[in-house]
Amino acid sequence: MPDDAQTSPPSRATPPGLHLIATPIGTARDITLRALDLLAGADMLVAEDTRSLRHLMEIHAIPLRGRRVLAYHDHNGAKMRPVILSALEAGKSVVYASEAGTPLVADPGFQLARAVIAGGFDLHAAPGPSAALAALTVAGLPSDRFCFLGFAPPQASARRKFIAEAATIPATLIFYESPKRINQLLEALCDGLGADREAALCRELTKKHEEVLRMPLGALADALRARSLKGEIVLLVDRGKDRVADAQTLDAALTEALDEMRLKEAVAHVSQSLGLPRRQVYQAALAKEKAE
């Protein structure tokens, strides 16, 4: 619930400490009034991408007042943390923004926040946009429990392991992915989770070309094969239903299918008819062949 005492703009400068502010993921007007106040009043401005923050301040007519915007990102964190900590030591207020959305959410800021806590300084959040929550809001998938998984590893075997771990999580799964790798991710998810799991692909949220595709993973993979997607993407996948085909049912279905089909077709057929992940059926088929 909003705190009434905090509704009016602050009459003084940003209070000392580190303020982690969320910035828009598309539409510039999604910045919060509080984030603008903090930017206007901070002693020190720090950003993952200094140009983006300067641009955002320009759009909202927040003057720099001679302040420089310092860069803090994955490659200079170790060097910059002492600079930020000594400003906090001197009682200054510091605002940090990642390139877009909420810092620390698939973005830098975690080690900085830890260092600030360890140093005994004040740490505050100015909450606002995040692509994960914006996508959850429009996906049409259960929102009672969700698990943010960020970017899947690009390397095939690491991605398989990552997906196998995700398969048993009883929650809506939220992935970030680049348009270049979305097709590979979808194929891997069909294999690891089953092509019939409901999913939603949310692209370019809050921007001109916003698009949400809501369909099972297999249909999504088919639909995207013919398209080359651009822009930023969040992919959400529904939790698995309780589809525990017992070993006997799986074995019987495989025996029948392997009598009539080659291994690959048999696996696809059984996984489809029992609603099981292709990978699980494939492993059962290999074990069966080995045992015979």
Site residues for ligand SAM per CB under 6 A: 25-26, 98, 100-102, 105-107, 130-132, 176-178, 202-207, 232-234
Q: Return the residue nearest ligand SAM (CB atom).
A: 101
Q: How far is the CB of 208 from ligand SAM (least distance, A)?
A: 11
Q: How far is the CB of 176 from ligand SAM (least distance, A)?
A: 3
CB of 126 or CB of 234, closer to ligand SAM:
234
Which residues have CB under 8 Å from 46's CB, separation 6+? Answer: 69, 70, 71, 72, 80, 84, 94, 95, 96, 97
Structural tokens at position 129: 């946009």
Residue 62 and residue 238 in contact, taking contact as beta carbons nearer than 8 Å: no
Residue 217 and residue 37 in contact, taking contact as beta carbons nearer than 8 Å: no
CB of 183 or CB of 206, closer to ligand SAM:
206
Q: How far is the CB of 192 from ligand SAM (least distance, A)?
A: 19
Rounded CA-CA distance 185/153 in Å is 9
CB of 182 or CB of 193, closer to ligand SAM:
182
Cα dihedral across residues 267, 268, 274, 275: positive or negative:
positive
Pairing between β-strand 233-237 and β-strand 172-177 as defined by DSSP bridges? antiparallel
Q: How far is the CB of 205 from ligand SAM (least distance, A)?
A: 4
Q: How far is the CB of 248 from ligand SAM (least distance, A)?
A: 42
Which residues have CB under 8 Å from 96's CB, separation 6+? Answer: 18, 19, 20, 21, 46, 47, 72, 84, 103, 109, 112
CB of 177 or CB of 196, closer to ligand SAM:
177
Exposed/middle/buried for residue 137 (C-beta within 10 Å: 0-12, 13-18, 19+): exposed
What are the start-end ranges of the H helices in 119-275? 131-139, 156-167, 182-193, 217-225, 247-260, 263-274
CB of 72 or CB of 176, closer to ligand SAM:
176
Residue 231 and residue 179 in contact, taking contact as beta carbons nearer than 8 Å: yes
Q: How far is CA 184 from CA 53, 191, 211, 220, in A?
A: 33, 11, 20, 12
CB of 43 or CB of 210, closer to ligand SAM:
210
Q: How far is the CB of 130 from ligand SAM (least distance, A)?
A: 3
CB of 84 or CB of 229, closer to ligand SAM:
229
Q: How far is the CB of 267 from ligand SAM (least distance, A)?
A: 31
CB of 185 or CB of 257, closer to ligand SAM:
185
Q: How far is the CB of 155 from ligand SAM (least distance, A)?
A: 18
Identify any residues that bridge with 212 across adjacent strands, giving them in sequence order.
202
Rg of the chain over Cα atoms, rounded to whole angstroms, equals: 24
